[in-house]
Amino acid sequence: MGEIMMKTHPRFAVVGHPNKGKSSIVSALALDDTVQISDIPGTTSKKRSFPLKVDGKILYELIDTPGFQRARRVLAWLEKHDVPADKKFEVVQMFVSEHRDDPRFNDEIELLEPIMDGAGIIYIVDGSKPYGEEYEAEMEVLRWTGQPSMALINHIEEADYSLEWKRALGQYFKMVRTFNPMTINLAQHVSILESMAQLKEEWIAPVKASIKLFEQYQEQKLEESSQAITKLLYDALSHVEELSMQSDEASEEEKERIEENYKEYLRNLEIDTQKKIENIWNHGHLQKKQTLLTFEDLDLFSEESASVFGLTRIELLITGATSGAVTGAGIDLLFAGHTLLLGGTIGALVGGIGAYFGFNELSEIKVMGQVLGKRYLQMGPMKNRNFSYIVLGRAIFHTSSVANRSHAIRSVAALTMDNRFKETWLDDDLKTSLEKYHKKFRSNNEIASETLKDYEILIKSIVSKSIGN
Partner 1 sequence: MNLKSYLNLYELLQNDISTKEERRAFGLSHIIDNKPIDQLMSWMQTHVKKLQSPLLSETFPSYLYGVTMTLVIATFVLGIVSGLALLSYNGHEPVNVVYFMAIVIFLPLFTMILTLMSMLKAHRSKSVLVHLSPAYWIESMMKLLPNTIQENIVTLKINPLLSNWIIIKRSQFIALFFSLGLLLALLAVVATKDIAFAWSTTLQVTPEVFYKYLNVLAVPWREFVPTAVPSLELIEQSQYFRLGDKLSEEMIDNASKLGEWWKFLLFSTLFYALFLRFIMYLISALGYRYALKKSFMSLEGVNSLLHDMNEPIISTHASREESISYIPNKDIQGIRKLDTSYDVVQGWAMPLTQLSVLNDSMQVISPNIFEVGGGNTLEEDSEIVHKSDGEVLLYVKAWEPPTMDFLDYLDELMQSVDKVIIYPVGTQDESYQAKERLVDIWVRKLSLVDSKKLWVKL
Cβ atoms of 421 and 446 closer than 8 Å: no
Cβ atoms of 179 and 192 closer than 8 Å: yes
Say which residues have a Cβ less than 8 Å from residue 405's Cβ, sequence separation at least 6: 281, 283, 286, 413
Region from 27-35, 198-206, 391-399, 458-466 binding partner 1, contact rule CB under 8 A? 27-35
Cβ atoms of 25 and 408 closer than 8 Å: yes
Interaction of residue 198 with partner 1, rule CB under 8 A: no
Helix or strand or coil: residue 359? coil
Region from 84-92, 217-225, 266-274, 410-418 binding partner 1, contact rule CB under 8 A? 217-225
Q: β-strand 149-154 against 120-126: which pairing, if any?
A: parallel
Cβ atoms of 428 and 318 closer than 8 Å: yes
Interaction of residue 445 with partner 1, rule CB under 8 A: yes
Interaction of residue 370 with partner 1, rule CB under 8 A: no
Region from 48-56, 191-199, 312-320, 349-357 binding partner 1, contact rule CB under 8 A? 48-56
Region from 52-60, 306-314, 335-343, 427-435 binding partner 1, contact rule CB under 8 A? 52-60
- Site residues for partner 1, window 54-113 (CB under 8 A)? 54-56, 64, 67-73, 76, 104, 107
| 77-82: Cβ within 8 A, 24+ apart | 78/141, 78/144
Cβ atoms of 22 and 32 closer than 8 Å: no
Residue 373 Cβ, how far from partner 1 at the closest point, in Å? 10
Sole binder of partner 1 in the list 13, 14, 25, 35 (CB under 8 A): 35
Residue 312 Cβ, how far from partner 1 at the closest point, in Å? 33
Region from 94-102, 428-436, 443-451, 461-469 binding partner 1, contact rule CB under 8 A? 443-451
Residue 392 Cβ, how far from partner 1 at the closest point, in Å? 20
Residue 431 Cβ, how far from partner 1 at the closest point, in Å? 26
Please state, in angstroms and as integers, the Cα–Cα distance from residue 379 to each residue in 324, 359, 387, 441, following that order: 24, 17, 15, 15
- DSSP alpha helix (H) spans, 120-251: 135-145, 162-169, 186-197, 204-238
Residue 442 Cβ, how far from partner 1 at the closest point, in Å? 13
- Find how far residue 195's CA is from the centre of its chain: 24
Report how many residues bind partner 1 under the rule CB under 8 A.
61
Closer residue to partner 1 in complex, CB, 46/167: 46
Residue 403 Cβ, how far from partner 1 at the closest point, in Å? 15
Residue 113 Cβ, how far from partner 1 at the closest point, in Å? 16
Cβ atoms of 377 and 365 closer than 8 Å: yes
Please state, in angstroms and as integers, the Cα–Cα distance from residue 210 to each residue in 53, 72, 171, following that order: 9, 37, 30
Q: Alpha-carbon distance 430 to 426, whole Å?
A: 6
Helices 252-280 and 385-403: crossing angle in degrees, nearest 10, is 30
Interaction of residue 448 with partner 1, rule CB under 8 A: yes
Interaction of residue 232 with partner 1, rule CB under 8 A: no
Interaction of residue 444 with partner 1, rule CB under 8 A: yes
- Site residues for partner 1, window 158-177 (CB under 8 A)? 159
Closer residue to partner 1 in complex, CB, 159/187: 159
- Site residues for partner 1, window 240-269 (CB under 8 A)? none
Interaction of residue 185 with partner 1, rule CB under 8 A: no
Interaction of residue 46 with partner 1, rule CB under 8 A: yes
Closer residue to partner 1 in complex, CB, 100/338: 100
Residue 382 Cβ, how far from partner 1 at the closest point, in Å? 15
- Site residues for partner 1, window 107-146 (CB under 8 A)? 107, 126, 129-130, 132-134, 136
- CB-based burial, 11-45: b 16+ in 10 Å, e otherwise: bbbbbbbebbbbbbbbbbbbbbbebebeeeeebbe
Please state, in angstroms and as integers, the Cα–Cα distance from residue 448 to each residue in 327, 330, 451, following that order: 19, 20, 5
Interaction of residue 226 with partner 1, rule CB under 8 A: no
Interaction of residue 32 with partner 1, rule CB under 8 A: yes
Closest CA to 230 of 439, 459, 467: 459
First to last CA, the chain: 39
Residue 118 Cβ, how far from partner 1 at the closest point, in Å? 19
Question: Which positions lie near partner 1, rule CB under 8 A?
Answer: 17-19, 30-32, 34-36, 39-46, 48-56, 64, 67-73, 76, 104, 107, 126, 129-130, 132-134, 136, 159, 213-214, 216-217, 220, 223-224, 227, 282, 371-372, 444-446, 448-449
